[in-house]
Chain A
Amino acid sequence: SAVISQKPSRDICQRGTSLTIQCQVDSQVTMMFWYRQQPGQSLTLIATANQGSEATYESGFVIDKFPISRPNLTFSTLTVSNMSPEDSSIYLCSVEGPPLGETQYFGPGTRLLVL
């Protein structure tokens, strides 16, 4: 299984600022996913990031608010821009495989509190 690390593990931010979350995987992966998990809730997919192409955003999420970079096959960043208290959530990075097209593995998450 893939080993995924995220930085920072948690942060407290002020309204109106931006935070960039890093995701590092120990192996090369084609597809990386970013999820949001609000307190006590299920996981909601923000976007899918493939290396070499623009990220694909789910309904309700836009690139201006959640810009994503995918510079190589082992790394991605998610930026939460112009934050408000409603952005307080756990942000999770996830990768697919092995086997490809099936299993998804999740990172430990970044716990964000916006004041």
Chain B
Amino acid sequence: QQQVKQSPQSLIVQKGGISIINCAYENTAFDYFPWYQQFPGKGPALLIAIRPDVSEKKEGRFTISFNKSAKQFSLHIMDSQPGDSATYFCAAKEGAQKLVFGQGTRLTINP
């Protein structure tokens, strides 16, 4: 019940396209859902996060869509650029409990 399932494992998108990464969870007590971006040789960096009281949050080209009833949330990267090529991790947290991470998605943006 503490798992967060992330898909796809890898994704290739053409420059200018929309990248979509999906995550699903079971624990309805999760109340914080961040996305992290990790470049090779670097630590994960917080990209964007959402709480379940809103259905969507947008920051620049990055948007989180949240579907509470389906227990799913997704990251959309609009106008994807080669510099967005990285590994993306979704995560979830319940109150002061530990972050639970998805398995990661390796995103490649072809020029």
Contact = CB atoms under 8 A, between A and B. Distances in A.
Contacts of A48: 98
B98 A106 contact: no
A16 to B, nearest CB: 27
Interface in B8-61: 32, 34, 36, 41-46, 49
Interface in A63-109: 92, 101-109
B89 interface: yes
A45 interface: yes
Given A41-B104, A42-B102, A106 B44 contact: yes
A26 to B, nearest CB: 15
A41 B9 CA distance: 11
A62 interface: no
A43 interface: yes
Interface in A49-66: 58
A45 B89 contact: no
A111 B43 CA distance: 11
Contacts of A41: 103-104
Given A42-B102, A42-B103, A43-B101, A104 B42 contact: no
A45 B98 contact: yes
A101 B49 CA distance: 13
Contacts of B41: 109, 111
B106 to A, nearest CB: 8
A93 to B, nearest CB: 8
